[in-house]
Amino acid sequence: MRLTATAAAATLLAATAVVLPATAAHAADSLPDTACMQAGIAALKEAGLFSTVARDGLPIATAVGVGVTPRAGTNVAALPDPLPLSVVLADHRAGAGSLFDYPWC
């Protein structure tokens, strides 16, 4: 009986060693991409657009003009134009799940 309990404990430990790294990797993937968001804020400030975008939103044509491209499957026509700053920042934080590809991310 003792051998069985030891074998069961060893099996559980081995299973935990396999599951934990996979879980940690998944958790890292699901974290907001704040570095991309910070880079986006810096890009807006560098272009002198931050206060205007904060007040009036970001026209999609302006975003495209600085190198932003819609990801495959993004229906740009369904988006508000201009995009509110909160939406722009949230999309930057979305990482690989964002609606747009940003050259600074």
For residue 52, pLDDT over 90 is answered with yes
| Mean pLDDT calculated for residue range 29-54 | 94
Cα gap 18→16, rounded to integer Å = 5
**Are the C-beta atoms of 37 and 92 separated by less than 8 Å?**
yes
The more confident residue out of 38 and 10 is 38
Name the token pair of 64. Answer: 């495209």
More confident of the two residues 79 and 15:
79
Read off the pLDDT band of 56 (50, 70, 90): very high
* Residue 22 reports pLDDT greater than 60: no
Q: Is 0.75 topped by the overall pTM?
A: no
Question: Does the pLDDT at position 65 exceed 60?
Answer: yes
Give the pLDDT score at 30: 75
Banded pLDDT at 28 (limits 50, 70, 90): low
Q: Which alpha helices (H) appear in the chain, and where do they start and end?
A: 2-29, 34-46, 50-56, 60-65, 85-93
Which pairs count as long-range contacts for 4-12, CB under 8 Å and 24+ apart, including other chains?
Answer: none
The arithmetic mean of pLDDT across residues 71-99, rounded, is 97
Mean pLDDT of the chain: 82
In whole angstroms, how large is the CA radius of gyration of the chain? 22
